[in-house]
Amino acid sequence: MNESRGSFGAAHSRFNDISSMDVTGAGALFMSAEYAVKAVIVEHYGFLPPSFETHRIVNLSHRIALWPQLPSDLRTHLADMALLDPNVRYPRETAYETLVSSSSNAEWQQRLTTAPRFIQYIERDVIGNPTTLGKLTF
């Protein structure tokens, strides 16, 4: 979870430094969500098994049954973050730079407001809650 908070901090600083978002900040914001989801898996196994390393984060959250445990606003946030994965582009998808620059500052501010809540929810209500953690499938 430290990596998740660190990536969020980097994205937030980048946004504040340049008064907008660029691909560096967007990538860091995506990583904050990815690290949080993968922290759930690490909590279960004690490490990240190779079979969980490369997945789109929404698919990964479905695979481990995390998706239904998330409140609807945090599912929306995770789906929004998934679009910002700088490492996954398919033919006919919008170029990453275009995707990042097409969002308004208000949209970035909303993402930056929701990201810490997502991280806190994963840490406190998933990893920190044995009942919820027990509902997940690995």
Q: How confident is the model at residue 100 (pLDDT cuts 50, 70, 90)?
A: very high
Q: How confident is the model at residue 43 (pLDDT cuts 50, 70, 90)?
A: very high
Residue 83 structural domain: 2-135
Per-residue model confidence as pLDDT tens digits over 109-123:
999 999 999 999 999
DSSP state of 95: P
- Residue 58 · residue 33 · CB < 8 Å: no
Token pair of 28 as six digits: 């860091």
Label residue 99 exposed, middle or buried (CB < 10 Å: 0-12, 13-18, 19+).
Answer: middle
Instruction: Work out the average pLDDT over 64-83.
Output: 97
Q: Using the predicted structure, report yes or no on whether residue 74 has a pLDDT greater than 90.
A: yes
Q: How confident is the model at residue 101 (pLDDT cuts 50, 70, 90)?
A: very high
- CA dist 40 and 38 (Å) reads 5
Per-residue model confidence as pLDDT tens digits over 82-97:
999 988 766 677 788 8
CATH for 45: 1.20.120.330
- CA dist 42 and 95 (Å) reads 32
pLDDT at residue 89, rounded to an integer: 67
Q: Residue 71 corresponds to which amino acid?
A: P
Mean pLDDT of the chain: 94
When divided into structural domains, the chain yields a total of 1
* CA nearest neighbour of 61 among 5, 118, 109, 1: 118
pLDDT at residue 20, rounded to an integer: 93
- CA dist 118 and 23 (Å) reads 21
Would you say the C-alpha torsion 41, 42, 43, 45 has a positive or negative sign? positive
Q: Is the pTM of this model over 0.75?
A: yes
pLDDT at residue 90, rounded to an integer: 67
